[in-house]
Structure 1
């Protein structure tokens, strides 16, 4: 069975929206962490807003290792409308998101990533289909913006790994307890 892995950049106060506003000092440890996360993934689920933003940016990007990964991986987009922008290996999620991801989880393959899409991550966490939550916590307070964990039901997480990067980011890997 595949694992569903949520990977998010968040501020110290839990904001995940617009990480460019609080995340500006990437370092080699954060880079290696990202490489280890995406190294096991062969599919990604994105929300429509993230897809639209990323489809404009990543095809021309040379920011590695993520550019090669996101441009070649299968991308499932949670949206009710046709995609306006063409991007390699992108397809619209057929049917209801949680049911689609539960089915995807049962198929053969690598891990399925959820990157940047707050509403998708929240829906999947609330439905209990996420296996791992991997956070990079920036040493900044954003003060405002959508928070990743707002509105979720109580859940228990098991700490799997934690590390501090040279720039002061906390790399926190959790397994969602069943």
Structure 2
């Protein structure tokens, strides 16, 4: 069975919205961490808002290794309305998101990533469909914004790995205990 891996950039107070506001540095350890996460994925699930923002930015970006990855990977978008922008390898999720992901997990392939899409990550975590949570936590307090873990039920996690990057960011990986 394929794994669903939620990868999120957070502030120390748990804010996931607009990480450009609290991510000031990107060091080699963070780059290697991201590279390892995306190397294991062959598809990504995005919410509509993240899709629209990313479909505008990433096709013309040269920020590697993520640009090549996200532009080439299969993208599934959770939305009930037609998409405004076209982007290669994109499919709108047909039907209910959790059931779609459950079916996708049972198909052959590599890990399924959830990047930046707070509502998608929350829905999959709440439904017990997410297998791993990989977080990069900035040494900053955002103060306001949507938090990744707000509104979720109690979920047990097991630490897989943790380290501090040279610029003080925490790289933490958890397995969701089912």
Return the alpha-carbon distance in structure 2 between the equivalents of residues 83 and 110 of structure 1.
26
Aligned residues: 178
1:91-142 deviations in whole A, cap 9, x for unaligned? Answer: 1000000000000000000000000000000000000000000000000000
Please tell me the root mean square deviation across aligned C-alpha atoms, in Å.
0.4
d(CA) in 2 for partners of 1:95, 1:21: 34
2:108 is paired with a residue of what secondary structure?
A: coil
> Which deviations, in whole Å up to 9, do the C-alpha atoms of 1:36-74 show, x marking residues without a partner?
000000000000000000000000000001000000000
Return the alpha-carbon distance in structure 1 between the equivalents of residues 109 and 164 of structure 2. Answer: 31
Which residue of 2 is the match for residue 130 of structure 1? 130
Shift of 1:153: 0.3
C-alpha displacement at 1:83, in angstroms?
Answer: 1.2
Q: 1 CA distance for matches of 2:129 and 2:73? A: 21
Tell me what 1:92 maps to: 92
TM-score normalised by length of structure 1: 0.99
- Aligned equivalent of 2:51: 51
1:120 aligned partner: 120
Instruction: Please list, as runs of the form range in 1=range in 2, the aligned pairs for 1:1-178 lying within 5 A after superposition.
Output: 1-178=1-178
When normalised by structure 2's length, the TM-score is 0.99
SS in 1 for 2:9: strand
